[in-house]
Structure 1
Amino acid sequence: MADYIHELRQLVGHRPLILTTAAGALLNAQQEVLLQERTGYNDWCFPGGYMEYGERIVATLKREFKEDAGLAVAPVRLLHIFDGDCFKYPNGDEVQCITHFYLVRQTGGHLLRQQTTETSAVRYFPLTALPPFFNQQSEKMAQAVCDYVNHRSR
């Protein structure tokens, strides 16, 4: 079902779609967060992506993290569910993403070293020096990570 969204777009064109996504925040020992630079956009986001038909949300999280960053991960805790953010891609596709955003831990794999169709680079960033984000939802995710780290350190 890897072409699920492509098939939908063939039927509805650029009309708005409500899509479910999963993304994760991986912190290293220095409390830096791993981000993905999106191919063709020159901005950053958390590894994650769209759920395929019949897939479970944690399976989506694991699959997308592996595709986007090269790492196997396991969810530690659900940080937030984002449900009101709409976005229009440069090609005109409109989406409202219902995103399950997790704190994750690495269980295997190696950081991507080569560019893929979706990832130009992956890199850890200090929470105090984050790069430009892909969209408003990614900015909200970064705030959720900061809130989690700040609350945990109290």
Structure 2
Amino acid sequence: MANYIQEIRALVGHKPIILNTAAGILVNDQQQVLLNLRTDTHNWSLPGGYLEYGETYAEACVREYQEDSGFQVRIIDQIGIFDRGEAVYPNGDVAQTISALYLVEPVGGEALEHSTNETLKLDYFDFDKLPPLLNQQTADMLAAAHDYLEK
């Protein structure tokens, strides 16, 4: 169902709701993580986004990763589920997000070289030198990914 979240928002307005999201961790040869600068909040996040109705977390991760970064990815492993998080958007929408995080690898496509309606730009960052992030849940996911990769 296209525009599922818009349909829900039309019914509930800015009332806090619970939404499911999926994101991916892609690291380069220097063990830096790829992040995208968001158009809505102008801070950095993991490529990913909300599930559409009927979609699995894994399917959403692959779809959203390509939309946000340009990369077609394959899921290597699930890192975790993160259920403590709230997103507050500039338009007043509030959502508790339940997020599945996956380690991914590129299998096609290429990094976006232009801005889109969701991504201003992409860049790789060291885990210990991260830019301003979307929210605490994003920070928690990055910390968990760093621990996972250090094993």
TM-score by length of 2: 0.96
Q: Hey, what does 2:59 align to over in structure 1?
A: 59
Q: Hey, what does 1:85 align to over in structure 2?
A: 85
Q: Tell me the distance in 2 between the aligned counterparts of 1:102 and 1:77.
A: 6
CA deviation string 1:85-119 (max 9, x = no partner): 12221211110111000111111110000100110
Q: Which residues in structure 2 correspond to 1:118-129 (within 5 Å)?
A: 118-129=118-129
Q: Hey, what does 2:68 align to over in structure 1?
A: 68
Provide the secondary structure at the position in 1 that maps to 2:79.
strand
Q: Hey, what does 1:34 align to over in structure 2?
A: 34
1:149 positional shift: 2.2
CA deviation string 1:111-151 (max 9, x = no partner): 0001001100011111121111011111111111221122x
Q: Hey, what does 2:110 align to over in structure 1?
A: 110
Q: Tell me the distance in 2 between the aligned counterparts of 1:45 and 1:87.
A: 12
Provide the secondary structure at the position in 1 that maps to 2:86.
strand
TM-score by length of 1: 0.94
CA deviation string 1:27-63 (max 9, x = no partner): 1111010000001433100000000001122110111
The one-letter amino acid paired with 1:106 is P
Q: Tell me the distance in 2 between the aligned counterparts of 1:66 and 1:114.
A: 14
Q: Hey, what does 2:17 align to over in structure 1?
A: 17
Runs of 4+ in 1 over 4 A off after TM superposition: none
Q: Tell me the distance in 1 between the aligned counterparts of 2:115 and 2:92.
A: 25
Structure 1 unaligned runs (5+)? Answer: none
